[in-house]
Chain A
Amino acid sequence: DTGVSQDPRHKITKRGQNVTFRCDPISEHNRLYWYRQTLGQGPEFLTYFQNEAQLEKSRLLSDRFSAERPKGSFSTLEIQRTEQGDSAMYLCASSNIIAGSEQFFGPGTRLTVL
């Protein structure tokens, strides 16, 4: 399977704990996006990378959130000191800049903060 993969698929944690999610994009895709989706809503943009450079971050991305893409391949999204409001589906998508706006989505990581 050469699609976008995310790990873990589900994460349950207690308030105050740190969590880290991983996204492996389609190889050769130079753009990688992170989105957050809460129940009944469409995805909301968090941040995106072009190769290893983080080019834009949403105001939604508080200082408890950090994302990296150290070698321009996989990416990690870390949430420190989780809060119940962080409970959501975290989606990753990748694209090839040449292809424009078409993005390929991973299955998501569902986070539940107790």
Chain B
Amino acid sequence: KNEVEQSPQNLTAQEGEFITINCSYSVGISALHWLQQHPGGGIVSLFMLSSGKKKHGRLIATINIQEKHSSLHITASHPRDSAVYICAVWNGNKLVFGAGTILRVKS
């Protein structure tokens, strides 16, 4: 079993829909990251969380430390949100990544 599990693996949405991507982890962590990867490889950090909730524009990230679970929400989705979204946990020395969720938003 992977230390970081994401669901769903693939997600197709219509423009304007509310999107949720889930991440569960099985190890003790000090921080959780949500990352975005566009075709071509570049990875951009969206959020770094250790508790509670953070919001940036149309993106919201939450974490429940007791349940070892985090969610990334996208409100009013847009085709430019199409990308791979990756959850990663920090175990003290390095990041451990989930497999990613491929999101496609259709107009």
- How far apart are B16's CB and chain A's nearest CB, in angstroms? 28
- Given B45, B48, B90, which contacts A104 in the complex, CB threshold below 8 Å? B45
Say whether, besides A91-B43, A102-B48, A105-B42, A44 and B90 are in contact (CB < 8 Å). Answer: no
Known A-B contacts A91-B41, A105-B43, A110-B41; A100 and B31 likewise in contact (beta carbons under 8 Å): yes
Bound together, the chains give a CA A89 to CA B37 distance in angstroms of 13
Chain A contact residues, majority secondary structure = strand
CA A45 – CA B31 in complex, angstroms?
17
Closest B residue to A6 by beta carbon equals B41
Q: Chain A 64-100, CB within 8 Å of chain B: the 1/0 string?
A: 0000000000000000000000000101010000001
On chain A, the number of residues with a Cβ less than 8 Å from chain B's Cβ atoms is: 24
**Which residue of chain A has the shortest Cβ distance to B44 in the bound complex?**
A105
B41 A89 Cβ-Cβ under 8 A: yes
Excluding A43-B97, A110-B41, 19 further A-B contacts by CB distance (< 8 Å) are A35-B97, A42-B86, A42-B88, A42-B97, A42-B98, A42-B99, A43-B86, A45-B95, A45-B96, A48-B93, A55-B93, A91-B43, A100-B30, A100-B90, A101-B31, A101-B33, A102-B48, A104-B45, A108-B42
CB A67 to nearest CB in B, in angstroms, measures 14
Complex: A42 Cα to B98 Cα, angstroms: 6
The reply to whether A102 and B97 contact each other, CB–CB distance below 8 Å, is no
Contacts known (A42-B97, A42-B99, A45-B95); A108 close to B45, Cβ less than 8 A: no
Contacting pair A101 B41 (CB below 8 A): no
From known contacts A45-B95, A108-B41, infer whether A101 and B100 are also in contact, taking CB-CB under 8 Å.
Answer: no
Instruction: Name which residue of chain A comes closest to B6, CB basis.
Output: A42
A-B contact pairs, 8 of them (CB 8 A): A42-B88, A42-B100, A43-B86, A44-B97, A45-B95, A48-B93, A100-B90, A101-B30
Q: Which residues of A contact B44 (CB under 8 A)?
A: 105
Per-residue interface assignment for chain B, residues 57 to 98, with 1 indicating a CB less than 8 Å from any chain A CB and 0 otherwise: 000000000000000000000000000001010100111111
A41 within 8 A of B: yes
Q: A42-B86, A91-B43 are in contact. Are A56 and B93 (CB under 8 A)?
A: yes
